[in-house]
Chains A and B, each alone.
Chain A
Amino acid sequence: MSDRTEPTAAQLADWDTRFKSVTWTLLPNPPLAPRAQNAMDEVLLEEMAAGRRGPHVRFWNWQSKAVIIGRFQSVKNEVNQDAAAEAGITISRRMTGGGAMLVEPEGAITYTIAAPESLVAGMSFAESYQFFDSWVLGALRELGVDAWYVPLNDITSSGGKVGGAAQARKHGIALHHTTCAYSMAPGILTSILRIGKEKLSDKGVTSADKRVGPLRQQTDLDRDVIINHMIEYFRSRYGLQSDNFRAEEMIRLDQLVTEKYDTPEWVYALP
């Protein structure tokens, strides 16, 4: 477990000011196919770049099980493809870097927070990761999870690793998404993901399973209760107005799934 460091009071005050400097929208969370969820981030990033959408928070509902691999990961190095196919697990490549995540419909809490890059102007990449997840850490602590940030992009806790984040920076937009483990069948991680010795070399453990601390195990709360608490935590501090996807965004989503996220050229871009 890495050393625990906390943001300074000055940092927290600065983050607070930044969060309050823009108007936030909460988007709905209909269940979508895994590849459509990944495509939705890109649709909304495009819409922001075009000035048609503002800063937003979006929770994801997964329609089916999936391994979401990072932009630069090789499928064969990360995924046991036979086991994944047998278990009905889709492989989906996201637009951001970072590591593979195994998600199940009720097993993960995933969200995106996106804003103009100016919101994190002057911050290091590392600080911006902490900034964008700071409200989630606050909400989790209120629920009794002793959670903290491990740079660059991990949320951990006294009960084990909770989640990981990744960011896209494109067209002047910072899009940050995070997946937290809510519940996980024992052994599923190691049967589907190929986690070699080298990857665990600096973790002080020999099994990826032992590193994870799913939130249900730590709180005994329903997934929806945790999500609602995160939303209310954000809303009460920074404001959050509910909005819907526009028809044009849903059309673009279908298009982007067909043209990119569903294609072997993208999924197996690094075979």
Chain B
Amino acid sequence: MMFRLFIIVLLSITSAYAAIETYEFKDKDKERRFHELSADMRCPKCQNQNLADSNAEIAQDLKQKIYQMLEADKSDMEIVDYMVARYGDFVLYEPRFNAQNAVLWLGPGALLLLGLMVVIWLTRSRHNKNAENAKQPPELDAKQQKQLQQVLNKDKKS
């Protein structure tokens, strides 16, 4: 009996918890878009949470607004524009490309390119050096040649 009661209590807790926020969508596609939009937008109040996770007043309002706009058949683009017009690029977890953040968007690519260039340059210069060394065997003058021959001959005799 106690166990049953415990299960009932447990189940009622979860159902109450899930009911904090529910939006009824007739259209499955809209529901999917709602979840995508609220997961991709940042709550302006609690800055490290997205709208979907946040329970802050402002996050609830913004979700409500997204819901209303979806029901009014607005496109994703229109909804995002609406939010950016009010809260700035800050609300987007994936900010749009603009002059201010161009360095951040292009920086990694530029650095990668720079690294590649340095690697190519280094290997080339090393390669050239090796080639040069191979081309020019150390030259001995006449006296050294003679010494070399003597040493070699000595070895043969013994």
Check if A and B associate: no
A residues engaging B (CB < 8 A)? none
